[in-house]
């Protein structure tokens, strides 16, 4: 039996704190990037998808950690 596959070394409690942190940082980065991209869209582009400038302003003003 290898010490690297020993039963006691297997995490039985779900994702580790480090993987949860990495996932949170990834989500925050995605929000930041999407909001930044949205702020660059033209009024016509926004009209095409049914979003107003006020909606964009509200979304872009949110901090990256807020959904």
Q: pLDDT by residue (tens digit) across 7-66?
A: 655 666 778 999 999 999 999 999 999 999 999 999 999 999 999 999 999 999 999 999
Of residues 55 and 1, the one with the higher pLDDT is 55
Cβ 59 vs Cβ 37: under 8 Å? no
pLDDT bin (cut points 50, 70, 90) of residue 4 is low
The CA-CA-CA angle for residues 14, 18, 21, to 5°, reads 100
Flag whether 24 is in a domain. Answer: yes
The CA-CA-CA angle for residues 28, 31, 37, to 5°, reads 140
Flag whether 26 is in a domain. Answer: yes
Of residues 33 and 2, the one with the higher pLDDT is 33
pTM of the model: 0.69
SS3 12: coil
Flag whether 4 is in a domain. Answer: no
Flag whether 7 is in a domain. Answer: no
């Amino acid at each position: 039996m290898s010490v690297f596959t020993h039963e006691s070394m297997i995490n039985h409690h779900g994702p580790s704190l480090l993987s949860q942190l990495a996932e949170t940082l990834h989500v925050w980065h995605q929000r930041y990037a999407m909001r930044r991209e949205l702020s660059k869209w033209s009024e016509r582009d926004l009209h095409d998808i049914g979003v107003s400038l006020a909606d964009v302003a509200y979304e872009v003003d949110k901090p990256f950690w807020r959904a």
